[in-house]
Structure 1
Amino acid sequence: MPGLFDTVVTEVDGVLCGPARQPRQMLSDQSYAGHASIHDDATARKLGFQGGTIEGPTHFSQFAPLCCSIWGEQWLATGCISVHYRAPSFDGEDVIAWLRRPGIDERQAQIWMTKTDGVEVLRGTVSMEPSAAQTALEERMAGLVLLQDAVILRDVSVGTKVPRVAVRMAPGARMGLLYPFSLADKLRVITEPSPAYSDDHNPWGRRIVPMEMISVLMQHTWDDTLIGVRGPAVGLFADQEIRLLGGPVFVDVPYEVEREVVFLSGSPRTESVWVRTMLYEAGGTKPVAQMLLNCAIMKETYAGYEAEREALYRR
């Protein structure tokens, strides 16, 4: 949208796309539950990746100009992005964001991201609240089966809640061991810069937090031991949805988050915990935003997984 983004958006046969970008990997020094994460080169290579992966929500910024070209600036206040991550991307790789233009009266659109060789990084939906259509993750969750014979997640229960905790994103404050960088660091390399992120000259009169950094704000205080996850083990983001209910989310404003386990699922290689996080203004009762996140924990990174499974579920 003119004034908020300078991104060149092109459209062919009803499909919008932005330019190829090279998002930066900023989590090489991340510490997750006292150990290195999938974003560490050595850890990632042991698991068969070419190097430390870029965290999925980093890609959300590339969709903001596309969404604003459809719905205007209000998408940054009451928009939603809902995706399933399909393949990792790495520092230095070109990726392109795509959006299929919705119908005139539709409030939801299909999105996807590809590398220049055609590999699909993510796929999902973007929408404007309120929308009657199911988001990508609502549709995906409806088809999942509850995890059976859990090992890493055997002490985790659907419905478990984590009490509210205070969060705040000041411009120069590093966001803890999970996110060892600041908003200012991110804005120096963000793929789609905007005055809405860096100064007060925008429709809301205050700096707003980019969609990808809303994920950081809502996640940086996370401690999975509070819900009973066993470890150490390496997890990765497999599905994620951020929904703005009464935004935008503002810089340097005191918020609070509360969390609830809403589902457990699995695959041959992972055990997954789905957590819904609600963001409130400090002391408030009306949510500003919510995030649904599926963290898929890799069985092979949990020492003695098969032996424990055999001992627990010997039949």
Structure 2
Amino acid sequence: MTLTAFEAVETDGVLAGPERRPVNLSRNAAGSIHDDATAQKLGFRGGTVAGNIHCEQFPPLIIRRLGPEWRRRGGLSLHFMNATTDGEPVRAFIGPETAGPGGLRIARIWMETPEGVRVMEGDAWVGGRNPESELAKRMAASRPAADLRILASRKVGDTCKDTPARIDGAVALRRLEGVTEPLPEYRDPTEFGAKVAAPAVAIDVLRAVEQPLFKSAGDFVGMFGAIELEFLDGPVFLDTDYLADGEIRAFSESPKTEVTWYESVIRPAAGGPPTARMLMMSRVLKASSPLWA
């Protein structure tokens, strides 16, 4: 992917990044929401660009607004609103800095199409845990699920411990060809002592808990609904062995989806404090399962 240089434009206190065209890196994953045929069968325009891919447009704006400490003790929390397809143009924005609870420095972030359609929205922060993040508020306001069929075997409070998690550097670096904002630290270990995982790659490390944490009934198609990524003692590195702990935090539902919320935390397998945490809201499409026929 050939990109123009990163140039942010500020208008009335809002920083706008350059227009980018994210690639649907999973378009060949047959049977997934990223596959054109499957997505169209379920009512989408085409295979969707994963929400974690969109997360990669925000770090340059966040670091410019809130500073480089975001890499070590900061986070972003994004609720996904309208899916995009391969190569569709989008632009990331960050609002003015505001004061948050406990001395946090916070700014609203969002993404739009050229027509002004809101793709996602949320907040970014620096300085510690944000108890009032976009996802924290949305999870607290969600109504408990009354009829789970695909996820019926799971319950709130289910956990898994010490799940091995690692991202191979060679794999991650090949994937960088499709990253919309390829920052130097993704390839160059000079600043941090090792190569830093881009947001979507860090999210993949934290998703290691999904296999031991979840069991479902039969085949289904899922998609990300929201992601909160926080660096506790960051950043997350490539070619590093981590251990991941996971917990199911909540279930909710909509007329078209079963919804699960889970939290994941990783720490170095060699010892040390937790590196990062994630709160994920994932949607399971009822129309994709015979249990909802």
**Does TM, normalized by the shorter one, top 0.5?**
yes
From 41, 48, 56, the equivalent of 1:53 is 48
State the shift of 1:187 in Å.
Answer: 1.4
1:195 and 1:201 in contact (8 A); partners too: no
2:68 aligns with: 73
- Aligned in 2, Cα 1:220/1:133: closer, same or farther, shift over 3 Å? closer
Partner of 2:97: 102
Partner of 2:21: 22
Show the 5 A alignment for 1:171-250. 171-172=169-170, 182-202=171-191, 204-219=192-207, 222-223=210-211, 226-250=213-237
How much has 1:229 moved relative to structure 2?
2.1
2:88 is the counterpart of 1:84: no
Aligned counterpart for 1:284 among listed residues 250, 271, 279: 271
Q: In the alignment, residue 19 of structure 1 is paired with which amino acid?
A: P
Cα displacement string for residues 96-144 of structure 1 (whole angstroms, at most 9, x for unaligned residues): 0011111377611111100111111101011113255610011111111
Matching of residue 268 in structure 1 with residue 255 in structure 2: yes
SS at match of 1:7: coil
Match of 1:176 in 2: none
CA 1:230–1:284: 2 relative to 1, 3 Å: farther
| Conserved? CA contact 1:107–1:131, under 8 Å | no
Q: Percent identity?
A: 33
Contact 2:15 2:94 in 1 (8 A): yes
Distance 1:200 1:304 in 2: 49
In the superposition, the TM-score normalised over structure 1's length comes to: 0.86
CA deviation map 1:5-45 (0-9, x unaligned)? 952111100111100001111112337xxxx2101111111
2:210 aligned counterpart, secondary structure: coil
Aligned AA (2:200): E
1: CA distance, partners of 2:190 / 2:271? 26
Aligned mates of 2:37, 2:45 — CA distance in 1 = 9
- Answer yes or no: is the 8 Å Cα contact 1:152–1:231 preserved in 2: yes
For the Cα contact (< 8 Å) 1:167–1:257, is it kept in 2?
A: yes
Post-superposition shift, 1:212? Answer: 2.0
- Matches of 1:131 and 1:220, distance apart in 2: 22
Letter in 2 for 1:22: R
Letter in 2 for 1:201: T
Question: Following superposition, which runs of at least 4 residues in structure 1 exceed 4 angstroms of deviation?
Answer: none
Structure 1 counterpart of 2:286 = 299
Aligned match of 1:11: 10
Q: Is the 8 A contact 1:162 1:227 kept in 2?
A: no
Distance 1:106 1:260 in 2: 26
Q: What TM-score do the two structures reach when normalised by structure 2?
A: 0.92
SS in 2 for 1:262: strand
The 3 A distance-change label for structure 1 pair 110 and 171 is same
Equivalent residue for 1:310? Answer: none
Q: Distance in 2 between matches of 1:129 and 1:303?
A: 46
SS in 1 for 2:237: coil
**Cα pair distance change 1:283/1:77, threshold 3 Å:** same
Question: Structure 1 residues 291 and 223, CA, compared in 2 at 3 Å: closer, same or farther?
Answer: same
For 2:209 and 2:133, locate their aligned partners in 1 and report how far apart those are by CA, in whole Å.
Answer: 26
Q: Give the distance between the partners of 1:50 and 1:239, measured in 2 at CA.
A: 20
Alignment gaps of 5+ in structure 2 = none
1:283 Cα deviation from its structure 2 partner: 4.8
Q: How many residues align?
A: 287
* Alpha-carbon contact 2:66-2:125 (below 8 Å) kept: no
User: Following the alignment from structure 2 to structure 1, what is the Cα–Cα distance between the partners of residues 183 and 56?
Assistant: 10
The aligned residue for residue 311 of structure 1 is: none
Deviation sequence 1:227-247 (CA, Å, 0-9, x none)? 332221111111110111010
Report the Cα offset of residue 209 of structure 1.
0.8
Q: Distance in 2 between matches of 1:238 and 1:153?
A: 16
Cα shift at 1:286 = 2.7
Distance 1:192 1:132, change over 3 A: closer
Are the equivalent residues in 1 in contact too, given 2:72–2:231 (CA < 8 A)? yes
For residue 246 of structure 2, the aligned residue among 247, 259, 282 is 259
